[in-house]
Each structure stands twice: as C-alpha cells, then as structure tokens.
Structure 1
Amino acid sequence: MKNQNFANRLSFALNGIKHAFKNESSFRAQLLLAVIAIVYFYWLGVTMVWWTILIMIIALILAMELLNTSIEALADHLHPEVHPTIKIVKDLAAGAVLILSVAAVIFAVLTSINFWH
C-alpha cells in the first residue's frame, strides 16, 4: 500500500471519512455541531481571524474524532475481549476528543462575549 499515487491516497482518506460518517454517531454529531458553529459565527459577523481559528478548531476536532475511531477499531480487531490496557488507550483517545470539544465550547463563549460587547 505504500507509495500510492495522490489520487489513490486521496481516495483512501475520503473512504475513511465516509466510513466514519456512516458508522460513527460521534463523528456525525461533531459535524452537526461544526455546521451550527459556522452558522452562528456567520450570524455574529466575525472577522477573518475568528473564522480562521474556528476552522482550525473544527478540523482538529474532526481529525481527532477520526483518530479516536481508528484506534478503537484497531484495538477491537486485535483484541476483541475487554482488556484493561486497551480500555485505557481507548479512554485516552476519547479524552483527547473531549479536551478539544471543551476548548471549542470555551472558544465559542469567549467569541460571543467579544462580539456581544
């Protein structure tokens, strides 16, 4: 699979996103929240700097959600039984998504305060 051309690599990546969208409710929820945030920021009329930060936060959350999903899938495939170490790994990945999500909420609140004053 190494050294594939760009079109193949792009196809692999899009297939991964498509799989997450079809099979992962957390990914769909994060996408919905991203759309809501985009609409809200549009309504606020924020400047380009705020848009740039928002897009980066959305990208980080969605990328981390994909990484979390891949870790869970690989761990479940390699060790389908419940195992304490694998549980820790999965919990750590979920925690990373949570940290980014909380940061996004804080960012939205601070942005709102900035534009409501």
Structure 2
Amino acid sequence: MKDKKRVVGFRYAWAGLKTVVKKESNFQLHLAAMTIVVAAGFFFHLSLIEWAVILLTIGLVLITEMINSVIERVMDFIQPGYDERIKEIKDIAAGVVLVTALISVVVGILIFGPKIMQFI
C-alpha cells in the first residue's frame, strides 16, 4: 500500500512540475538561464565543487520561483479581487525570488568571472 501511495505522490509531484514549466513564464526564463549556465559550465570545465555550488544555486532559484507561484495562486484563490494585504504578500514572495536570483548572479560571477577573464 505504501508503494502505491509513493507512486501516486510522485505522479502528483511530476504533474505539478509540468504545470509550472508550462504555465509560469518566469520559471521558463529561469530554465533558459539554467541552460546557458550549464552549457557554460561544460565549456569552462567546472570542478566538482563548482558544479555543486552552481547546481545548488540553480535549484534554489527554481525552488523559490515555484514557491512564489504557489503563493500567488493561493492568494488569488483566497481573494480574486484586489486587496492591498494580498498585494504585499505577493510582492514579498516575488522579492524572495529576486534576492535568490541576485545571489545566483553573484555566485555566477565568482565562479565564471575568473574563467572568462582567463579566456579573454
């Protein structure tokens, strides 16, 4: 019985991931950036530690974007009309993604910056 629940749970999780990829343009933008960063990682032959940092950073950005999407959908469900409190909640959730994205840029500069400078 537990195995069946696990399979069903995985199916729901996969459906959620497909939904965010199909319907969330910001998530799609992050996936595009991820593709460029991963390609750059192969081009510059990142070390295992550098890959770990890059992949954890990418994961953090994607996760915060997904959480932001959930918060936005829940808030829209709770209050379909405009509400200043809901706006603040959604703005803060978006701010979380922005902070994470900015940190990812700094991580990218720290890892790729010296490699780009050597390449030039």
TM-score, L = length of structure 2: 0.90
- What does residue 75 of structure 1 align with? 75
1:102 aligned partner: 102
Q: Quick one: distance in 1 between partners of 2:113 and 2:75?
A: 42
Asked whether 1:112 is paired with 2:109, we answer no
Mapping for residues 28-107 of structure 1, pairs under 5 Å: 28-107=28-107
Task: Give the Cα separation in 1 of the matches to 2:65 and 2:14.
Answer: 15
Residue 21 of structure 1 aligns with which residue?
21
Q: Distance in 2 between matches of 1:93 and 1:112?
A: 28
Gaps of 5+ in 2: none
What code does the residue aligned with 1:33 have?
A: A
Q: Aligned-pair RMSD on alpha carbons?
A: 1.2
Shift, 1:113, TM fit: 2.6
Q: State how far apart, in whole Å, the 1-side matches of 2:80 and 2:40 are.
A: 41
Which residue type is aligned with residue 13 of structure 1? Answer: A
Residue identity in the other structure for 2:13: A
Identity of aligned residues (%): 26
Q: Aligned letter for 1:104?
A: S
Between the aligned partners of 1:70 and 1:97, the Cα distance in structure 2 is 13
Q: Does 1:11 align with 2:11?
A: yes
CA distance in 1, matches of 2:108, 2:87: 31
